Structure 1
Amino acid sequence: MPSSVAQSPLFPRGPGLGARLAIYLLISAALIVVDVRYRVLDSARAVAATALLPLQQVAQSPLALYRQVSGFFVQHAAMQQENAQLQQRQLAFAAALLRYRDLEQENLRLRKLLGAQARTPLKTRLASVVQMPRDPYSRTLTIDLGSAQGVRAGEPVIDELGLLGQVTRVYPYSSEVTLITNQDQPVPVMVQRNGMRAVVFGRGDDGVVDVRYLPHSADIKVGDTLVTSGIDGVYPQGLPVARVVSLDRSANHAFMQVKCAPLGGVDRYHQVLVVENVALPVPPAPVPAALPGPTPHKAVKR
């Protein structure tokens, strides 16, 4: 009786599994070579990508929604934290401003008592940083003010924390500023605690400047604040420059090794202030007193 179930032949005809795999691999390799060499599958790939684009967007929509929602909450939390920090800084600046006004009035009274000349007030211009150098060893930046706005070479540049550098090149509508951290950039300073004068040099690192050529017996301590001395005629007196962070008085060096951290935001460039150079009035030279001439002799009557 013939069976209704088809039975597989004892000796199947056709290629085996290994031969099929080899054939498929050869076909795949041939397609890859032809596509790479003659770009025959670009149209098919473009059609497939266009057809699958809606599916990809639908599949990625939950992830995109999650990113938007999480980004909103993260940004909101960051803005709240930044707002709290700004409020704290505003209160600190308000308290410092009150003390500054009191000290300014007291300083004015003392100067009047001593008959000293008052300091020239700083005149500044607000500028924005428009370009950073590509050279990692160059500590310069470009601002959006130039000779058309009255900027001149040599004018100091500051921020709300301290001195940043000075204008070294001026163009019609932009200027180049060399930072105090630039290699071997000198700034005459003095120790705010005792008035001792020194010179700060940059070393090409945004976070470090050096005080050089100080003897081992110099009266300087860790934590001292260095301000501009004003004796060079470029930087006004009293601008915060750096704070001493380490000292090395070992006898292995001819001079004391003083490492300082800049107070200005030399590594945070956004908006800066260009200080207009205002020369102090030069007192008139004293007029020499007239020397007494010879006393004329009177004629003696005989």
Structure 2
Amino acid sequence: MAYQNTPAPRLTDGAGSTLPLLAYLAIATVLMVADLRGGFAAQARQHLSMLAEPVWWLAAAPGRLMDGGRDMLSTRASLQAENERLRRELQVNASRLHRLLAVAEENQRLRELLGGTRGYRLNAQLAGIIDVDLDPSRQRIVLDAGSMQGVQVGQAMIDAGGVLGQVIEVTPRHSTALLLTDTEHAIPVQVARSGLRAIAYGTGRTDRLRLPSIPQSGDIRVGDRLVTSGIGGRFPAGFPVGVVEALQPDETQLFVVAEASPAARLDRGVEVLLVSNVIDGVDDGPPLPPPPAPATGEDGASSAVPGETAGAAVDEQREAEGE
């Protein structure tokens, strides 16, 4: 049997395959040291990312298109729902407006039948508070408007909440007003819900009014709103006066006494409105003459309660009680 001679491996063959590996290792080492010293890899990655940004943008374009389409569909659906809701609200408001117009026409016909306030409008004048009476037994304020500004005795005084009181003294540049809660003040009021008429008296407390002599059969409840009735001509009708807080029988057990909290902010604010009725169609004319000024005693106190401010309301209330 003959054997073939196989050549023995040479040392140069193994060295030839190892040299490229060593070269790669050396190049990698040099690159790592250069990157560590100079940060070349970070700069290269930054430039490469800038070059690859268009590719990423194109790759993300289908997802953006899907999100945009989904948002467009949802926005359109929400807009359609909101449009439908607004259309329903418009129909409801239109029906309410027609009803209010009908009520206004009916109110005008009733006013014409009563012959009362037709032909009159409200005149308002702004005045500032410059002084407050510190006497605990009197609740009065001094205003920076007087007869030179057209202020007259008997004008009603209101703020954003409701009736504050009335003017009782006037000088050329200033005027004095009696607050609603002064013990010498009374105002004809009406229950907004039932139309029951009564008179609200001041108690000396800024948070309390008193309505005595209400018939047991009178339709008044806790929480009822009180507004000016317009009786007497001094306070225009319809202004808020207060809210009923409590009801209790009087000493005779024949009548009910109501306590109310004023609607106006009596202990806050620096400006008030002086209001009065004027003839409709007169632009710059003076307001209608108020009722006669309340008589003052020797000590200067006003007798507004027994005066003509609440006289007509007292007579009508007595007639109702007699019935």
* Same fold (TM > 0.5): yes
Say if 1:155 and 1:277, in contact at 8 Å, map to a contact too.
no
What displacement does 1:231 show? 1.3
Name stretches of at least 5 consecutive residues in structure 1 with no aligned partner.
Answer: 1-97, 282-302
Structure-1 residue corresponding to 2:236: 236
Name stretches of at least 5 consecutive residues in structure 2 with no aligned partner.
Answer: 1-92, 282-323
1:109 pairs with one of 105, 109, 115: 105
What displacement does 1:137 show? 1.8
Read off the aligned partner of 1:245 and give its amino acid letter. Answer: E
Q: Deviations over 1:1-33 (max 9, x none)?
A: xxxxxxxxxxxxxxxxxxxxxxxxxxxxxxxxx
SS in 2 for 1:214: strand
Q: Deviations over 1:104-128 (max 9, x none)?
A: 7454322455572646321101111
Read off the aligned partner of 2:104 and give its amino acid letter. Answer: L
Q: Distance in 2 between matches of 1:107 and 1:266?
A: 34
Q: CA RMSD in A?
A: 2.7
SS in 1 for 2:222: coil
Q: Distance in 2 between matches of 1:136 and 1:161?
A: 23
Aligned length: 183
Q: Deviations over 1:221-261 (max 9, x none)?
A: 00001111111110111111011000113775442121000
**Which deviates further from its counterpart, 247-256 or 220-229?**
247-256
Q: Distance in 2 between matches of 1:203 and 1:115?
A: 34
**Which deviates further from its counterpart, 103-112 or 160-169?**
103-112
Task: Label 1:270 to 1:108 Cα distance change in 2 as closer, same or farther (>3 A).
Answer: same
Q: TM-score, normalized by length of structure 2? A: 0.52
Structure-1 residue corresponding to 2:170: 170
Q: Distance in 2 between matches of 1:239 and 1:146?
A: 23
Q: TM-score, normalized by length of structure 1? A: 0.55
Structure-2 residue corresponding to 1:197: 197
Q: Distance in 2 between matches of 1:176 and 1:195?
A: 32
Higher helix share: 2
% of aligned pairs identical?
35
SS in 2 for 1:204: coil
Structure-2 residue corresponding to 1:263: 263
Task: Label 1:199 to 1:279 Cα distance change in 2 as closer, same or farther (>3 A).
Answer: farther
Task: Label 1:146 to 1:221 Cα distance change in 2 as closer, same or farther (>3 A).
Answer: same
Higher-Rg structure is: 2
Structure-1 residue corresponding to 2:155: 155
Structure-1 residue corresponding to 2:144: 144
What displacement does 1:279 show? 6.2
Say if 1:131 and 1:141, in contact at 8 Å, map to a contact too.
yes
Read off the aligned partner of 2:195 and give its amino acid letter. Answer: G
Q: Distance in 1 between matches of 2:111 and 2:277?
A: 24
